[in-house]
Amino acid sequence: MVANRGYNSTSAKTRLRLIEAASEILDEEGYPAFTARRIASRAGLKPQLVHYYFRSMEDLVVTVFKRSSANYFRLHDEALSSARPLHALWRLNCHIPEARRMLEYVALGKIYPALRAEMRASGESFRALQIEAIENVCARRGIANPPMSAASLAAMMSAVARSIVIENNVAMTVGHDEIHAFVEATIDQYDPG
Amino acid sequence: MVANRGYNSTSAKTRLRLIEAASEILDEEGYPAFTARRIASRAGLKPQLVHYYFRSMEDLVVTVFKRSSANYFRLHDEALSSARPLHALWRLNCHIPEARRMLEYVALGKIYPALRAEMRASGESFRALQIEAIENVCARRGIANPPMSAASLAAMMSAVARSIVIENNVAMTVGHDEIHAFVEATIDQYDPG
DNA sequence: TTCGGGACTGTACACCTGTCAAGTCGCATG
DNA sequence: CATGCGACTTGACAGGTGTACAGTCCCGAA
């Protein structure tokens, strides 16, 4: 007779190893390598264990994403609490490994609806936090007429950073330095150093 | 004995049907459906014909991309030759089907190096054309100190448009209207209506 | 010492993928 | 009429995918 199929054992060591391996695979080889067999082999485990600990690949990818997201939340929170929150946020947005990973999730989102839902939830809440942080900066610095609204600054930062990463993936470079400098200059108007 | 394997017959009707079908599949079902069998079935043809007309899936995807790209070149050229080139370009950038398609190519680029190379080439040349067009507008209108450099405006337009589409894919909306309005307002400073 | 249950393994299924080799058909040319 | 060749079909290969289910092991409680 079987089995609890440790779906819920959030602490099981082997389960964590799988999550870790899946995360590394996504970072190093991208979404096409996100398969049960590759992940298990990366973790030094039998492929069947993936379905012992996770109902399905969708379940796994959502779990991995949630972990990424929680991790990112810490960095994000740290950035927004720092002395110059907007610069810190911009630096975080431009952090290549994080941005690349998000791109893999975008691809996997085409396949797994539950992942899309999770991405939407976390994406919206990160953006809300950013908007709040930008408004706080404006209030603190007494900036009444900022160059752009808080929402559009937040959206622009993530759009530009994401785009640079996408284009780097195909070895494009034209305009990257310029747009990067422009965003930095814009941020400087809020949060001068 | 076989066969010329119509690799080069650029005009063969069946070959064109396959390219057309591949293009539609990419638009309607996305990169996961970009397989020889699905494409052939969509074209009402036997799957093996794909490899009769194309050396490999990579060969096919590159061919399809080149066609997209050539098509897009016409729209792009038309936009840049219009009375208000920057607004027309912005509208083109925001045209959802085109932007979504590009996203599928990004995903497929992870798998096919030759596609990446093609994307790089066409991407760089589109951007160069845009920069030139922006500089022309500045010269024509006598704008000596534009709000941002031509290169960064071009990069920003495509970054923002692309990002909105990515986020729409996961049903995110926060900040879209605002950033869209900001880009439009920026463009207005170059090319007022 | 028995027993139960959680952790893991072995084996397998059905399906899908890109790719290939050989054969067939029909038409146009000699 | 024969030949040849391009267009297409048949059939298959090797490998990959997610997923299922029964069996085995081991350890801790009774």
Cα–Cα nearest to A80, from A125, A145, A143, A146: A125
Cα–Cα nearest to B108, from A157, A30, A92, A190: A30
Please name the member of B103, B172, B182 whose beta carbon is closest to the beta carbon of A152. Answer: B182
CATH hierarchy code of domain A10-54: 1.10.10.60
Of all residues in chain B, the percent with pLDDT exceeding 70 is 98
Mean pLDDT of chain A: 96
Q: How far apart are CA B155 and CA B170, in angstroms?
A: 23
Q: How far apart are CA A163 and CA A127, in angstroms?
A: 17
Q: Which residue has the tokens 């043809």?
A: B45
Nearest-by-CA chain B residue for A30: B110
DSSP structure class, residue B188: H
Cα–Cα nearest to A34, from A60, A69, A67: A60
- Contact yes or no for B175 and A111 at CB 8 A: no
Q: How far apart are CA A119 and CA B117, in angstroms?
A: 30
How many Cβ pairs within 8 Å bridge chains A and B?
139
Q: Mean pLDDT throughout A168-189?
A: 97
What pLDDT does residue B7 have?
85
Render pLDDT for B31-58 as a digit per residue (tens, 0 to 9). 999 999 999 999 999 999 999 999 999 9
Q: Can you give B19-31 as a three-state secondary structure string?
A: HHHHHHHHHHHCH
Q: How far apart are CA A149 and CA A152, in angstroms?
A: 5
Nearest-10 Cα torsion for A125, A58, B163, A89: 40
Is residue B85 within 8 A of residue B47, CB to CB? The reply is: no
Our CA-based measurement puts residue A28 at a distance from the nearest CA of chain B, in whole angstroms, of: 12
Give the predicted TM-score (pTM) of the model. Answer: 0.95
Q: Which residue has the tokens 């076989």?
A: B2
Identify the band that residue B70 occupies on the pLDDT scale cut at 50, 70 and 90: very high
Interior/surface letters B66-97, b for 16+ CB within 10 angstroms, e for the rest: eebbeebeeebeebbeeebbbbbbbebbbbee
Strand C surroundings (CB within 7 A): A 1-4, 6, 9, 12, 14, 45-46, 48-49, 52; B 2-3, 34-38, 47-48, 50-51, 55-58
Q: Is the pLDDT reported for residue A115 higher than 90?
A: yes
Nucleotide with C1' nearest the A55 CA: D19
Q: How far apart are CA B105 and CA B40, in angstroms?
A: 19
Nearest-by-CA chain B residue for A28: B110
Which residue in A29, A129, A172, A180 has the most chain B C-beta atoms within 10 A of its own C-beta, making it the best mutation to test that interface?
A172
Question: Which structure tokens are listed for A188?
Answer: 């400087």
Render pLDDT for A57-85 as a digit per residue (tens, 0 to 9). 999 999 999 999 999 999 999 999 999 99
Nucleotide with C1' nearest the A51 CA: D19
What pLDDT does residue A9 have?
78
Interior/surface letters A107-131, b for 16+ CB within 10 angstroms, e for the rest: bbbbbbeebbebbbebbbebbebbb
- Contact yes or no for A178 and B106 at CB 8 A: no
Which residues of chain B are within 8 Å of residue A182 when distances are taken between CB atoms?
Answer: 148-149, 152, 156
Q: Is the pLDDT reported for residue B86 higher than 60?
A: yes
What pLDDT does residue A1 have?
45
Render pLDDT for B146-175 as a digit per residue (tens, 0 to 9). 999 999 999 999 999 999 999 999 999 999
Q: Return the ∠ at Cα A134 (arms to A132 and A137), rounded to 5°.
A: 110
- Contact yes or no for B159 and A169 at CB 8 A: no
Q: Mean pLDDT throughout A120-127?
A: 98
What pLDDT does residue A26 have?
98
Residue spans of the domains in chain A: they are 10-54, 57-188
Cα–Cα nearest to B105, from B51, B135, B60, B53: B60
From the CA of B65, how many Å to the C1' of D6? 27
Is residue A31 within 8 A of residue A108, CB to CB? The reply is: yes
Q: How far apart are CA A129 and CA A132, in angstroms?
A: 5
Q: Return the ∠ at Cα B169 (arms to B168 and B174), rounded to 5°.
A: 30
Residues from B in contact with A at Cβ < 8 Å: 30-32, 103, 106-107, 109-111, 116-117, 119-120, 123-124, 127-128, 131, 148-149, 151-152, 154-156, 158-160, 162-164, 166-167, 169-172, 174-176, 178-179, 181-182
Question: Which structure tokens are listed for A80?
Answer: 């927004």
